[in-house]
Amino acid sequence: MGARHTPGPWRTGAGACHTVYGHAVGRPRTSDPVVANCYSTGDNSKEDAANARLIAAAPDLLEALRRAHLVTCPTVDPIHHTCGGCSISAAIAKAEGK
């Protein structure tokens, strides 16, 4: 569907910096590529962990938005996921860098 990001599913790893890993097809889990690191400059470990979980959910959230868009917007283009400018279309475009 045009997204050029590391394929999901993504997962969070344990550790001080709350690393988010992508999915490395055909490779052991220990070699999954790093998608993001959520570092803390203070005592925000709970917030950092929440940020990492949100980032890790991004591929699933994008796919859910695409599916919801097809159902809720009567003018959606099913190939490009665009319509007359609803908020779902805007969020998908933002995620795809458009």
pLDDT digits (tens, 9 = 90+) for 45-59: 788 788 888 888 999
**Residue of 93, 73, 98, 91 lying closest to 83 (CA atoms):** 73
Residue 1 has pLDDT above 50, yes or no: no
49 touches 18 (CB < 8 A):
yes
Burial class (CB in 10 A: 0-12, 13-18, 19+), 97: exposed
**Taking the model in full, what pTM does it have?**
0.72
Greater confidence, 68 or 82? 68
Query: By percentage, how much of the chain surpasses pLDDT 90?
Result: 5
- Mean pLDDT over 37-48 rounds to 72
